[in-house]
């Protein structure tokens, strides 16, 4: 067994060099153990012809940033097979998975460049720094910080994430410690004040980053408006980390095929309430998180009004892949069928068993069908306290996208108020239990 220790989760050049030497030495993927940090074995001393297509290297450089611990091995097995003379067909499962990873990484990189908002702070001698905070789903900071630096060479900025931070001083890019949670400007500022000296003195300059090949879109200018409330994604319950990885290989129904990626639920350990929607929408499918598109934004607003902190509840869907039909360039949502809901109940059951919420909230018909195991009339059963056979309390309400579809403004406003009223009842049940 060859133990290969990479310097960091983003050590693309270390991985690339190791993969080359291992493949040249004919070492099979099963004989390699990849780790991050620690001491590894010396690389085999092998030489010879090594040919990978540029497109494969580009794909791997992006897929490498996915937050999946098995990525090092899967990408190496692609390298090894190509070096052994194989040409993986376009529908090769490993290649298909690498492509899905790359799509998810690109979406996350895009999100980082468009969603990071910056707080302008005054530094010595009248200079200012733009301080941004962002929680990426994948390890996208190093590659994308280079793009931001190229795009804004004359500004001084820092992007801080839970995994680490990037700092541009108009001459060099440095990487330093991360900030696990932030909720507002004050936390960000306090962290910066406590860490800036260490970061600016000691941070290592990033050198091992895939640059041009990593992301192919040009970055948008940072939003230089003062930062508003920062939306912090909930922490995933750690006991669900494994199923959240396993679901990438789910073939329980055909919906995985056209979808970009599965969208697993998210929320903290011991959440008192689990909100269940129908399925990820177009944006959720690309970003990889539940309820981040228009319906999610409406739900966020209603939760805020009802006094529910999104970060404290678990949010998921009855079906974990986006079901759609194509109309030109658009992807049009399709309601999942009962067999798809049933197939996906495997994952919902795992989430329920792990989170063990006091209350399950089913939003809309598909979620109610999944939770109650029968067709449900939302109008009839909405707002009533229901109990499953296993004693689980259930609350049925409308799906937020139903509100978005109401054409007249007055009707929409009234339906929104009713939804907030339901959420207030849910909050009361959360705190009563």
291 binds ligand URA (CB under 6 A): yes
DSSP 205: E
116 binds ligand URA (CB under 6 A): no
Nearer to ligand URA, 21 or 279 (CB): 279
Find the shortest distance in angstroms from Cβ 317 to ligand URA: 5
Nearer to ligand URA, 8 or 115 (CB): 115
What's the CA gap between 90 and 116, in Å, rounded? 35
382: Cβ contacts below 8 Å, ≥ 6 apart: 396, 397, 398, 422
Find the shortest distance in angstroms from Cβ 333 to ligand URA: 8
H or E element in which residue 371 lies: helix 365-372
279 binds ligand URA (CB under 6 A): yes
Nearer to ligand URA, 115 or 196 (CB): 115
Nearer to ligand URA, 225 or 231 (CB): 231
Q: Which of 108, 266, 278, 351 binds ligand URA (CB under 6 A)?
A: 278
261 binds ligand URA (CB under 6 A): no
290 binds ligand URA (CB under 6 A): yes
Which residues make beta-bridge pairs with 314? 274
Instruction: Judge whether 299 and 383 are in contact, CB under 8 Å.
Output: no
Find the shortest distance in angstroms from Cβ 49 to ligand URA: 48
What's the CA gap between 318 and 347, in Å, rounded? 9
Q: Give the chain's length.
A: 433
Q: Which of 293, 336, 357, 365 binds ligand URA (CB under 6 A)?
A: 293
Torsions phi, psi for 159 (to 5 deg)? -120, 120
Place of tokens 């290649």: 95
260 binds ligand URA (CB under 6 A): no
Q: Which of 140, 230, 295, 341 binds ligand URA (CB under 6 A)?
A: 295
What's the CA gap between 285 and 293, in Å, rounded? 10
285 binds ligand URA (CB under 6 A): no
What the block records as the tokens of 298 is 């409406």
317 binds ligand URA (CB under 6 A): yes
Find the shortest distance in angstroms from Cβ 268 to ligand URA: 18
Find the shortest distance in angstroms from Cβ 318 to ligand URA: 8
Instruction: Judge whether 148 and 157 are in contact, CB under 8 Å.
Output: yes
- From 2-10, 188-196, 224-232, 288-296, span contacting ligand URA (CB under 6 A): 288-296
What the block records as the tokens of 390 is 């296993």
DSSP codes, 219-263: PPPPB-SPP----PPPPPPGGGHHHHHHGGG--SSGGGTTSS---
- From 20-28, 89-97, 154-162, 289-297, span contacting ligand URA (CB under 6 A): 289-297
Which residue has its beta carbon closest to ligand URA? Answer: 277
Q: Which of 219, 277, 336, 365 binds ligand URA (CB under 6 A)?
A: 277
234 binds ligand URA (CB under 6 A): no
Instruction: Judge whether 324 and 278 are in contact, CB under 8 Å.
Output: no
Find the shortest distance in angstroms from Cβ 355 to ligand URA: 17
What's the CA gap between 396 and 69, in Å, rounded? 37
296 binds ligand URA (CB under 6 A): yes
Nearer to ligand URA, 112 or 276 (CB): 276
What's the CA gap between 331 and 322, in Å, rounded? 10
Find the shortest distance in angstroms from Cβ 402 to ligand URA: 10
Going along 123-212, which residue ranges are E strands? 128-133, 157-160, 165-168, 173-176, 204-205
What's the CA gap between 193 and 255, in Å, rounded? 48
Q: Which of 160, 336, 401, 426 binds ligand URA (CB under 6 A)?
A: 401
280 binds ligand URA (CB under 6 A): yes
Cβ count near 127 (within 10 Å): 11
336 binds ligand URA (CB under 6 A): no
281 binds ligand URA (CB under 6 A): yes
DSSP 206: P
What's the CA gap between 95 and 294, in Å, rounded? 32
Nearer to ligand URA, 83 or 316 (CB): 316
23 binds ligand URA (CB under 6 A): no
Residues that bind ligand URA in the complex, under the rule CB under 6 A:
277-281, 284, 290-291, 293, 295-296, 317, 401
């Amino acid at each position: 067994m060859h133990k290969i220790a990479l310097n960091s989760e983003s050590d693309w050049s270390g991985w690339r060099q190791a993969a080359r030497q291992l493949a040249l030495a004919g070492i099979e993927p099963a004989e390699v153990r990849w780790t991050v940090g620690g001491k590894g074995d010396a690389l085999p001393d092998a030489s010879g012809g090594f040919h990978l297509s540029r497109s494969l290297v580009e794909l791997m450089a992006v897929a490498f940033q996915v937050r999946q611990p098995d990525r090092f091995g899967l990408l190496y097995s692609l390298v090894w097979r190509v070096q052994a003379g194989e040409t993986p067909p376009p529908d090769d499962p490993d290649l298909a998975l690498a492509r899905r990873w790359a799509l998810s990484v690109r979406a996350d990189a895009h999100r980082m460049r468009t969603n990071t908002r910056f707080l302008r702070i005054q530094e010595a001698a009248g200079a200012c720094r733009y301080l941004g905070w962002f929680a990426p789903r994948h390890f996208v900071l190093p590659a994308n910080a280079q793009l931001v630096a190229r795009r804004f060479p004359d500004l001084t900025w820092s992007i801080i994430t839970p995994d680490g931070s990037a700092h541009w001083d108009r001459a060099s890019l440095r990487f330093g410690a991360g900030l696990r949670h932030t909720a507002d400007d004050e936390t960000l500022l306090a962290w910066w004040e406590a860490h800036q000296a260490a970061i600016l003195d000691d941070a290592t300059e990033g050198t091992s980053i895939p640059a041009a090949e990593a992301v192919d879109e040009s970055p948008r200018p940072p939003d230089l408006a003062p930062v508003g409330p920062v939306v912090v994604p909930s922490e995933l319950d750690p006991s669900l980390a494994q199923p959240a990885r396993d679901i990438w290989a789910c073939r329980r129904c055909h919906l995985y095929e056209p979808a970009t990626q599965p969208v697993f639920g998210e929320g903290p350990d011991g959440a008192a309430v689990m909100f269940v929607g129908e399925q990820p929408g177009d944006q959720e499918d690309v970003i990889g998180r539940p309820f981040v598109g228009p319906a999610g934004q409406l739900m966020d607003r209603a939760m805020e009004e009802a006094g529910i902190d999104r970060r404290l509840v678990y949010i998921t869907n009855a079906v974990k892949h986006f079901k759609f039909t194509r109309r030109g360039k658009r992807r049009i949502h399709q309601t999942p069928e009962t067999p798809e809901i049933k197939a996906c109940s495997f994952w919902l059951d795992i989430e329920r068993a792990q989170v063990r919420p006091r209350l399950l909230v089913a939003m809309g018909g598909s979620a109610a069908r999944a939770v109650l195991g029968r067709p449900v009339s939302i109008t009839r059963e909405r707002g009533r306290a229901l109990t499953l056979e296993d004693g689980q309390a259930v609350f049925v309400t409308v799906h937020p996208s139903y509100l978005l579809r109401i054409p007249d403004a007055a009707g929409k406003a009234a339906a929104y108020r009713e939804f907030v009223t339901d959420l207030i009842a849910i909050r009361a049940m959360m705190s009563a239990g």
